[in-house]
Amino acid sequence: MHMQNIVVLVGGVGGARFTRGLVSELERRYPAAEDRPRVTAVVNTGDDSWIAGLRVTPDLDSMMYTLAGVSDDERGWGLRDESYRVSAELEKYGVGWPWFTLGDLDISTHIARTSMLRDGMSLTSVVEKLTARWHDGAGLPVRLLPMSDEHVETHVEIDLGSGPELVHFEEWWVKHRAGVPARRFVQVGITGASATWEARDALEQADVVLIAPSNPVVSIGTMLAVPGLRAALDASAAPVVGVSPIIGGAAVRGYADACLTAIGVETSARAVAAHYGARRDGGLLDGWLVGEEDAVAVPEVEALGIRARAVPLWMRDVATSAALAGDALDLAQGVRDSAG
């Protein structure tokens, strides 16, 4: 198979680490830049919000900062070498979300984005402009596309003792650390939203589609629920290969387990594959990578009609992420070869 166009569906941190590995693996496999496949990432925007009058897009920014090489990997979000003077002042005014601290440099990204949106640009165009400045104006090695240009916000129904209420996803995730049970997720605005033309076109042109090890409910699940996106995926001739975000029955980094519980899916690599479903049965997946610790799940996943492999799934650094991305590409190649 000649791979020219690779599309990866991503959320924030898990997606960013995986995509950074994919870039590194492609540089290794295709040393000449002109031979290298192009990578397009379709990014979840369901965690977006308006904070202190600014449009904040956490998953797009995790992708942008990571691929620009300026992310704070230890903390897991935002920029390295940040200061928090503006947030401290905003808190004194009682403006913003005190539990969602924005760094000073990060705030300039949000100001730039908001100003472009106010000028009437679509989010897709704004992202194109924001990503162009990095690497001394060469831009990012990956094209970032928001799933939709319309504003979609994931809200969570919780009960803090005075009856059910809906709060923004980030309030549940960051302020409550997903410690209060989620009763359900509501994607506010999704019925009026649509997948962008650019995202649908990227899927149509794709030779391979990869589903990053992102949160299956609030990152990948939200994207699949955007009208038009799932249909574009289903129509694609490209093999669709996913990477499990669950290793050894646990959500590594974060609380994906709390999200899965809320939608009645067990926290296991096999259950997430079953939730996504086999492509031949109208589901999402042709292939699925599970961790070596979950090797017993391989025949179970294959019994669902999804080709499976057990590989090292921990993305500790660029090298381990690159090896994982290589395994995903190889599995996609295998799917393609066996399809003839």
Q: Which residues bind ligand GDP (CB under 6 A)?
A: 10-15, 59, 62, 213-215, 219, 243-245, 247, 251-254, 256, 313-315
Pick what 236 binds: Ca ion, ligand GDP, none; C-beta below 5 to 8 Å, kind-dependent: none
- Asked if residue 47 binds Ca ion (CB under 5 A), the reply is yes
User: Of 269, 187, 249, nearest to 224 (Cα)?
Assistant: 187
Least Cβ distance, residue 220 to Ca ion (angstroms): 11
Total of chain residues touching Ca ion, rule CB under 5 A: 4
Site for Ca ion in 63-82 (CB under 5 A): none
What one-letter code names the amino acid at 189? G
The residue range among 28-36, 41-49, 153-161, 191-199 that interacts with Ca ion, by the rule CB under 5 A, is 41-49
Identity of the residue, 59 or 149, whose beta carbon is nearer to ligand GDP in the bound complex: 59
Binding mask 11-30 for Ca ion (x = CB under 5 A): xx------------------
Q: Compute the least distance from the CB of residue 68 to ligand GDP, in Å.
A: 16
- Integer Cα distance of 94 and 96 in angstroms: 7
Q: Give bridge partners of residue 55 from the DSSP assignment.
A: 50
Q: How far is the CB of 34 from ligand GDP (least distance, A)?
A: 30
Contact flag: residue 48 with Ca ion (CB under 5 A): no
Residues 6+ apart with CB under 8 A from 253: 13, 14, 76
- Taking the complex as a whole, the smallest distance from the CB of residue 119 to ligand GDP amounts, in Å, to 28
Nearer to ligand GDP, 59 or 207 (CB): 59
- Taking CB under 5 A as the rule, does residue 198 contact Ca ion? no
What is the rounded distance in angstroms from the CA atom of residue 284 to the CA atom of residue 296?
Answer: 22
**Structure tokens given for 317:** 């650094």
Q: How far is the CB of 136 from ligand GDP (least distance, A)?
A: 27
Smallest gap, in angstroms, from Cβ of residue 315 to ligand GDP? 4
Give which of Ca ion, ligand GDP, none residue 15 binds (C-beta under 5 to 8 Å, depending on kind).
Answer: ligand GDP
Quick one: 99 or 197, whose CB is closer to ligand GDP? 99
Least separation in angstroms between residue 81's CB and ligand GDP is: 20
> Which spans of this chain sit near Ca ion (rule: CB under 5 A)?
11-12, 47, 59
